[in-house]
């Protein structure tokens, strides 16, 4: 089968999330690094702000009042929870895809097909990252309004 035949066969092959990553592995690795970095920044920001708020180490947070403090903590917690959720979901999805690549019988299961489909859905990550960003912006706005009122 010449080079043309192999190329045609490759183009006709069923595309899975796993072989998409193999075909563009350098792009996927770069994406994964940025996604992981963003997730770490989100969690660090959310946890750091919450710790400072709860321990009362900042004069600004002391001026917030109980109602606003609860609101800021709730917003930060929602953002952190979204990041934990997407991290756990990604881990589960990619484990199923990996298992399917190692065990061909597993590829016929609904779990594998769903995980493989989900591994190609960019909107899942983006939606939860956008939710996190929005909750952190809202928490920051509450804090900035407190500064502006003083």
Q: Check residues 40 and 81 and name the one with the higher pLDDT.
A: 81
pLDDT tens figures, 29-80: 766 777 777 778 888 887 877 777 767 666 766 777 888 888 988 998 999 8
Residue 118 CA to residue 7 CA, distance in Å, equals 27
- Report the chain's mean pLDDT, rounded to a whole number: 79
CB 112 within 8 A of CB 99: yes
The pTM is what?
A: 0.69
Domain ranges of the chain: 35-149
Residue 16 has a CB neighbour count (10 Å cut-off) of 19
pLDDT tens figures, 117-141: 998 998 999 999 999 999 999 998 9
Q: How far is CA 104 from CA 96, 100, 111, 137, in A?
A: 12, 6, 13, 45
């Amino acid at each position: 089968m010449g080079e043309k035949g192999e190329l045609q066969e490759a183009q006709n092959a069923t595309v899975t999330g796993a072989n998409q990553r193999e075909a563009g592995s350098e792009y996927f690795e770069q994406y994964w690094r940025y996604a992981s970095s963003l997730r770490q920044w989100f969690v660090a920001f959310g946890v750091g702000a919450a710790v400072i708020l709860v321990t009362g180490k900042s004069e600004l947070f002391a001026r917030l009042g109980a109602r606003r403090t609860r609101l800021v903590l709730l917003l930060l917690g929602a953002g952190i929870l979204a990041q934990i959720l997407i991290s756990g979901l990604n881990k589960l999805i990619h484990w199923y895809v990996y298992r399917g690549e190692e065990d061909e019988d597993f590829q016929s299961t609904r779990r594998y097909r769903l995980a493989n489909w989900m591994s190609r859905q960019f909107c899942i990550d983006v939606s939860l990252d956008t939710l996190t960003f929005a909750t952190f912006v809202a928490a920051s706005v509450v804090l900035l309004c407190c500064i502006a009122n003083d």
